[in-house]
Amino acid sequence: MDKTPRRYPVICEIDGRTHRGTYWIAGKIMTVSTGMGSKSRQVGSMPAEVLAQELLRELAKEGKA
């Protein structure tokens, strides 16, 4: 049986630019990845899609999306 977490697309728009990434959850940790970097955070009560967009926005502001 494959133990690889399922990956989901995530998109956000900042200043008219669309940024895309992929996220997955392993245990209680969500990771958002782009071609230039990734960020992880513990999943809490925030919906997964909202947290993924927040992490993607952070990556974009750092120039990693």
The answer, yes or no, to whether residue 3 has pLDDT greater than 90, is no
CB 19 within 8 A of CB 34: yes
- Please give the pLDDT value at position 30: 98
Condensed to tens digits (0 to 9), the pLDDT of residues 29-55 reads: 999 999 999 999 999 999 999 999 999
Q: In whole angstroms, give the CA distance from residue 7 to residue 60.
A: 19
Q: In the chain, what percentage of residues exceed pLDDT 70?
A: 97
The model carries a pTM of 0.91
- Quick count: other Cβ atoms within 10 Å of Cβ 7? 13
The answer, yes or no, to whether residue 1 has pLDDT greater than 60, is no
Which two tokens mark 35?
């071609």
